[in-house]
Amino acid sequence: MNVSLRVVYLYHDVDVVEIRVTVENPGFRGTADIYVGTGGLLEAASTLEGFPEDHSDKRELVLGAAGKKFAGGSVRLELPTTRKNR
């Protein structure tokens, strides 16, 4: 069973950082190239700091923005500590 989260730097300027996010588990694999504000990666690191604190810790992380008004894509990750049985 391959479970992974990969974030790769692609480009930056004074306003944004472009990254590629790839997630994979037994039922899904997806990749998105997204733009994050210059403080967005620091905010994401802050959200994930110390994860997991305990067996019930759950975090949500949103990178980029969805919709026609925004360039690039977006990624919304729900990170549970425990895995539910199917």
pLDDT at 86 over 70: no
Average pLDDT over residues 52-74: 86
- Give the pLDDT of residue 38: 87
Q: Where are the domains of the chain?
A: 4-80
The answer to whether the beta carbons of residues 28 and 49 sit under 8 Å apart is no
Residue 80 scores a pLDDT above 90: no
* Residue 5, amino acid: L
- Compute the distance between CA of residue 39 and CA of residue 8 in angstroms, rounded to an integer: 16
Which residues 6+ apart lie within 8 Å of 60 measured at CB? Answer: 47, 76, 77, 78, 79
Over residues 2-51, the pLDDT tens digits come to 889 899 999 999 999 999 999 998 999 999 999 999 899 999 999 999 99
Strand order in the sheet with 16-25: 4-12, 16-25, 28-37
| pLDDT of amino acid 22 | 94
